[in-house]
Structure 1
Amino acid sequence: DIPVALGKEVSGRPVVADLTKMPHLLIAGSTGSGKSVCINTIIASLCYHSSPNDLRFIMVDPKMVEMQIYNSLPHMLIPVVTEPKKVPGALKWLMAEVTRRYKIFAKVDVRNIAGFNAKILKDREEKSKADELDAEMTLQERGAIENLEVPRDEDIEIPETKLPYIVCIIDELADLMMIAKNDVETAIARIAQLARAAGIHLILATQRPSVNVITGIIKANLPCRIAFKV
């Protein structure tokens, strides 16, 4: 499980969700509505629960103000991406990482990240997570794994340690869609369809959830949403 703190109910009871069940999240809200506070709370709860060995971040912040403070976190895979032109490259790397992980799974005969980590750690709890995740896999995820040829030894290196989950947080999606709409939309849709079994999750945020920002393709692949005042 990857617990994410979202706030409190009216009664004061904390609301905690599981990112692996979402498995991707869309947050929309105008300036001052609490969107950035929500993102910071999610990041803090992820860091509180998971070490850098368990979870890593990729953060995209075109406004260059919200996420710079996280550059010193040991959880960061790369420094916070602030240049919109570099974002398609980061998303392509994520998609390549999904493919790499699927090849690793095919080689060791497992179907998801929990199954691989259970095999590496010989952990019963991870094995039960793997069975649960396997039951929830989408048709696209199953097809991607089943159609993958088992790679030769020289084609893939099997890690000797557990694979960390990767959470990619993109703030202000609207800015990116104005600069490289086709590249960003295609990459987000592809990652959202296939990345859950590989242990990669997306959190997207925008001030303007209009149809030219949150396109039909993106909306269809992000079933979990949080709406603040827009």
Structure 2
Amino acid sequence: MEFYEITLKTEYSQSEYPDKQKDIENINKILETYGLKVDKVKERAQVIRYIIHVPLDIKRQGWVKCAWEDIINNIIATLGTDNIVILEKENDLIIERRGMFNVIPFGALYTSYFDDVTPISSAVLGLNKKEDTVYFDIGKTSNVLIAGSNESDKTETMNSIIASLLMHNIYSAPPGLKTIIDIIDMNGKYSKYNDASIKIIDDEYDAFFYLDQLCVEMEARCSAFEKHGCTHIDEYIQKGFKMARRICIIDEFADLVLKIRRIEDYVVRLSQKARACGIHLVIGTQHISRDVVTESIKTNFSFKIALHTSTEKESCMLIDKSGAERLWGRGEMLIKDCGESPIRVHGCHVFDEDITNMVKLADETIVRKVRIKSESPEVAVNTSNIKREFATRYVVSKKVGFFQGIRNIMNAPQCTTPSDFMFFILDD
């Protein structure tokens, strides 16, 4: 899709499933005895569906009912059990085959129309069964939890969220309201985003300090709201003040929290209170267990994206019901918002070339300046105990012996709080 200065790739990576005609012949051969055949074929990303219409008068006949299980078993045996699902919907029998046929490009979903009509904090996720674009507004959700097993394409889901926010910042977000995006990335998966508009935190101790400072900013924003008689960021902006939303994306939360357990306290504290202040968390993990996805995390992260899970137990742990273990992976997901039933969505792919172009354009158009106080609320930062010069991207100087000093400070009976050691990196 072409914007003013950038063209996103929209073509599908491959054309159609090569064995489609062979599948139709095999299915028709099984069904011809019963007077049925494939009536319709639908193709979408990584899915091809063969639809057989079963008239109600035929479906009610006893011999069809008795043979129904044999029909389904024969179809599965003929087409292969590794990537076939049989669905029944009203008077239709749907045979769904999965495979690496097509990939949904991010550029096919994030169009200029989508950019115009959606909020600046919204993000594209993929397509549902009806081929409708599925997106969500991070500003309206409490927090987002993304979880799935290895090769479930959690990284792609994160990429689509980051790319959506970045595109909104470039084209539709007004000055002073552009979303601040920070990524805690311990494995280097998102280093390609590291530029003037997105900050990458790649060390657990830097992440600890960053989250502590985020809590300080949350309290400062709350104080500013109280001062002007507001209860949340939207009301504050409506009164003419400028305050940007801040999105903190944490990749592989398990690696982080299992190294420094206190980080969970900061995450829970932020998840309970920060939404009204315009601070939102998006965390992802492949390690789905009770010591990572705790009850506090489940309660405060009401918007959940479950990719393929290894077991039914993991699916229930994430979305309180089974189903994620039956997903095919490669970006297929179940999305569950608070109090709603999960919906099945197939995620999109953000091409590396698109990311490079977006980051380059953002670097040219979005200017971030280093300041010691935030956009609206003034935050007092105690610098009396600062002994070193800290880098200006939330990254603490990595001089010899520094990390051991941090450990000594954190383990001391009476110590200076981490807030005393950090500067803000904030927007105009």
Global fold match (TM > 0.5): yes
1:177-218: per-residue Cα shift (whole Å, max 9, x none)?
A: 21111x111111110010011001000000012111111111
Specify the alignment match of 2:149 in structure 1: 30
Q: State which of 305, 329, 347 in structure 2 corresponds to 1:226.
A: 305
1:117 partnered with 2:243: no
1:43 partnered with 2:167: no
SS of aligned partner of 1:16: strand
Deviation at 1:73, TM superposition (A): 4.5
SS of aligned partner of 1:196: helix
Specify the alignment match of 1:215 in structure 2: 294
Specify the alignment match of 2:255 in structure 1: 175
Higher helix share: 1
1:72 partnered with 2:195: yes
Q: State which of 119, 128, 135 in structure 2 corresponds to 1:9.
A: 128
Specify the alignment match of 1:61 in structure 2: 185
Specify the alignment match of 2:140 in structure 1: 21
Specify the alignment match of 1:147 in structure 2: none
The one-letter code of the counterpart of 2:134 is V
1:12-61: per-residue Cα shift (whole Å, max 9, x none)?
A: 11001111222210000122111100000011111122347321011100
What is the rounded CA distance, in whole Å, between the counterparts of 2:149 and 2:210 in structure 1? 26
1:187 partnered with 2:306: no
SS of aligned partner of 1:91: helix
The one-letter code of the counterpart of 2:255 is D
1:122-162: per-residue Cα shift (whole Å, max 9, x none)?
A: xxxxxxxxxxxxxxxxxxxxxxxxxxxxxxxxxxxxxxx51
Deviation at 1:11, TM superposition (A): 2.3
SS of aligned partner of 2:308: coil
The one-letter code of the counterpart of 2:179 is L
Q: State which of 145, 150, 166 in structure 1 corresponds to 2:246.
A: 166
Q: State which of 207, 210, 217 in structure 2 corresponds to 1:97.
A: 217
In structure 1, runs of 5+ residues without a counterpart are 121-160
What is the rounded CA distance, in whole Å, between the counterparts of 2:279 and 2:226 in structure 1? 17
What is the rounded CA distance, in whole Å, between the counterparts of 2:124 and 2:297 in structure 1? 24
1:103-129: per-residue Cα shift (whole Å, max 9, x none)?
A: 111111211111111112xxxxxxxxx
SS of aligned partner of 2:276: coil
Preserved contact between residue 85 and residue 179 of structure 1 (Cα < 8 Å): no
Preserved contact between residue 142 and residue 300 of structure 2 (Cα < 8 Å): no
Normalising by structure 2, we get a TM-score of 0.42
Deviation at 1:173, TM superposition (A): 0.6
Normalising by structure 1, we get a TM-score of 0.77
What is the rounded CA distance, in whole Å, between the counterparts of 1:85 and 1:175 in structure 2? 12
Deviation at 1:98, TM superposition (A): 0.6
Which protein has greater RCO, CA pairs closer than 8 Å, 6+ apart? 1
What is the rounded CA distance, in whole Å, between the counterparts of 2:276 and 2:141 in structure 1? 12
Preserved contact between residue 84 and residue 179 of structure 1 (Cα < 8 Å): yes
* Greater Cα radius of gyration, structure 1 or 2: 2
SS of aligned partner of 1:163: coil
SS of aligned partner of 1:203: strand
What is the rounded CA distance, in whole Å, between the counterparts of 1:177 and 1:162 in structure 2? 33
What is the rounded CA distance, in whole Å, between the counterparts of 2:297 and 2:263 in structure 1? 10
Specify the alignment match of 2:279 in structure 1: 200
SS of aligned partner of 2:275: coil
The one-letter code of the counterpart of 2:192 is I
What is the rounded CA distance, in whole Å, between the counterparts of 1:212 and 1:87 in structure 2? 19
Q: Percent identity?
A: 32
Correspondence list, 1:129-168, <5 A: 162-168=242-248
SS of aligned partner of 1:26: strand
